[in-house]
Structures are given as structure tokens and as C-alpha cells.
Amino acid sequence: MSDHGFATRAIHAGQDPDPTYGSVVVPVHATSTFAQDGVGGLRSGYEYARTGNPTRAALEAQLAALEGGRHCRAYASGMAAEDTLLRATLRPGDHLVIPIDAYGGTFRLVSTVLADWGVRYSAVDLADLDAVRAAILPETKLLWCETPTNPLLSIADVAALAGIAGEHGLRLVVDNTFASPYLQQPLALGASVVVHSTTKYLGGHSDVVGGALVTSDDDLAADLARLQNGMGAVPGPFDCFLTTRGIKTLALRMERHCDNAERVVEALEAHAAVSSVLYPGLASHPHHETAAKQMRRFGGMVSIRLAGGEEAARALCAATRVFTLAESLGGVESLIEHPGAMTHASTVGSPLEVSADLVRLSVGIEDGDDLVDDLLAALATL
């Protein structure tokens, strides 16, 4: 499969017809255990469904093929994937570098849960490579990158960060949730491991929560498998089925997300109530050149600042009709949210706090005209 194009791999990698009945779609193996032919005589390589399940294995093979990695492990959520990776790679006294505008849940995990286990962190603007170098300590083990970031849509130069990680013997982790493997391939740019909240673009239909880690590092992959089984934060077979089904249309959906985001950006840039539009596809975006170098297109996420401040931001979130006011992103339906009070509330009072005039849009795959009309009508009510 590795010599086929992206859309072909998305549909076929790991998706061989079922050997029992020839089902074209990998079945939902709703079983907690697998019969053995005599003690220790596994019929199919599977023994217990926390350790492994064929529906999960199909998803893992599909995702590994899309990210260009040798190994993938799926987890019950993006946070479970992150937790597993951090526990696999860090020990008490170790340190990691995270982005100054990391996803709020990542910040909460590192700053509260892992802090209790003696892990320290520095939050740095990853676009400032000198600041990244300066933050690296003798105890630093991981450089954690998210690009584009949630919710400010900053871009980090993955190849440059991989260079720094290599110089210091660190692992570079890239959270590829916002871009998806269709738009960006961090392993090919030098990352050691890719993290996903598969809840977002990969699942793509806002009907399942999941996470995944992809790497070509055999030792790390063995540790991730050990912890997947040992910690038990595994996705169920129906969740894996939904995620795999979503991934099959990823290429088509991402093109439409990008088309619609570009339409929305154009309309909002010209609007007096919007003081700025944050979108890496804009030539005026401070990291546009880096984005153009490492991304196929610029994605479906758009953030805006409202000239009328927090009051206008909250009012806009309540005024749209096609955009639903809700957390999460990356589904077929358009969503709007106020990060300061919703997804990023855990950053309030920290250096990662986001400003209250900010609104985040997850631009879906509806008709572009309807999305633009909805936003313009909502802005007119402010």
C-alpha cells in the first residue's frame, strides 16, 4: 500500500476483506476475548481485547499508512494517547518543552497531572527557535509541538524543530490533529512521533472520541504497546469502526473544509466588526511561508478577534444558526466557540491564557454560501 496515493491508502490500508465471510468492510469485532485451541494456542494471534482486537488493528494499520509510520497505537481519546506517550517517555525529574499556546487539555495534563509526578515543563513560542533552544535543559527529553495550534493557529517549523531535537538528543512530538495527515506529514519532516485526537478530522463526523500515536521508532512503539495494554485506555471496537469509516473520506472532506475556510476567511477579513482573522493561508499570517512549505493546504480552522471585545465574541457565538455553538472541531458540521470560556478555560490565569475577544470556527463541509451568509447575519446582530 505504501506506494499508493493518499486516498487509496485511506480506503484500503489495513482493510483487507474479512477472511471468514469475505465482508468488504472490516467487521466490528464485539468480543472481549478470543477462543484458544488448547492452552496458549491462539487461533488468530488475539487473546484478550484490551491487548488487541482486529477492528482496532485495522484502524491502527490504516493510520500508520496515512502518517507514513511503521507503528500505530489507538487509544480511548486524544488525551489518553498523550498521557500514554508522556508516561512512556518521561520519568520524575524530566522536563519537556510545550508550545506557549498548546491545546488547553495538553497544558492541563502537563501542568497538573504530570507535575504531581515530578515532571517539569517550559511553555515557549515555538516559532522563536532561539527561545526553543534556550528552554532546553539537561533534563529535557521531549519537544512537544502542535501545528497549527489550537486556537491561535500559529505554525511551527517542524523540520527546524526536528533539527534542534536531533542536536540535543530529544524526541520531537507533533500533535497533527488540526492538519490531519492529509495536509501535513510530520514523520517525513523529522518528527519522532505523531499524536492525534482522532475525535476531530480523522473520525470527522462528531460521533466518536479517540486518539492515536504513530511512530517509526521500534523501541518507542514497543513501550506504547506495553502501556496500551498495561494502562488499558483502549478504544472499543465500534469506536474503531466509526473512526476507520470516517478516515476513508478524509481526503475529500479536507479539500472541502479548506475550500469553505477560504471563503469564510475572505468574507470575515473584509468585515468591520472583525479586528483580525487568524488563518495560516493568509499571506499576512506571520508564519504563512512555513505553513506553505509544510502543508498541502491550510485547513478548516479559522479564529477571529472581534473589534467589540469579549461581549461581541460571546454574542457572535450565540447568534449563528448554521454554525453550532459547541466545543470540538473537525466534523462535517460547522462549529463556533469561545475558547477563553470553553475549550481553553483551563489556561485562565496561566501564561497560556487566550484573550476574551477570540472566537474559534471549525468550518464544516456544508454549502460555502450558507456558512458565509450565517456568519454575516450573526455579525449584523452585534
User: Residue 209 interacts with ligand PLP (CB under 6 A)?
Assistant: yes
First to last CA, the chain: 52
Query: 3-state secondary structure string, 184-251?
Result: CCCCCCCCCEEEEECCCCCCCCCCCCCEEEEECCHHHHHHHHHHHHHHCCCCCHHHHHHHHHHHCCHH
Site for ligand PLP in 135-164 (CB under 6 A): 146, 150
User: Residue 197 interacts with ligand PLP (CB under 6 A)?
Assistant: yes
C-beta of 103: minimal distance to ligand PLP in Å? 4
Applying CB under 6 A, the span of 74-82, 115-123, 217-225, 270-278 interacting with ligand PLP comes to 74-82
d(CA 298, CA 153): 10
Q: Report DSSP letters for 312-325, one per residue.
A: HHHHHHHH-SSSEE
C-beta of 307: minimal distance to ligand PLP in Å? 27
Cβ proximity to ligand PLP: between 247 and 379 the closer is: 247
Site for ligand PLP in 213-232 (CB under 6 A): none
C-beta of 330: minimal distance to ligand PLP in Å? 8
Cβ proximity to ligand PLP: between 46 and 244 the closer is: 244
Q: What is the sign, positive or negative, of the torsion defined by CA atoms of 250, 253, 259, 262?
A: negative
Cβ proximity to ligand PLP: between 94 and 175 the closer is: 175
Q: What angle do CA 95, 97, 102 make, to 5 degrees?
A: 130
d(CA 81, CA 212): 6
- Residue 151 and residue 339 in contact, taking contact as beta carbons nearer than 8 Å: yes
User: Residue 211 interacts with ligand PLP (CB under 6 A)?
Assistant: yes
Site for ligand PLP in 171-190 (CB under 6 A): 175, 177-178
Applying CB under 6 A, the span of 75-83, 123-131, 161-169, 299-307 interacting with ligand PLP comes to 75-83
Which residues are marked as active site?
Answer: 50, 103, 175, 200
User: Residue 334 interacts with ligand PLP (CB under 6 A)?
Assistant: no
The residue among 1, 29, 22 whose CA lies nearest residue 13 is 1
- Give me the residues that bind ligand PLP (CB under 6 A), please: 77-79, 103, 105, 146, 150, 175, 177-178, 197, 199, 209, 211
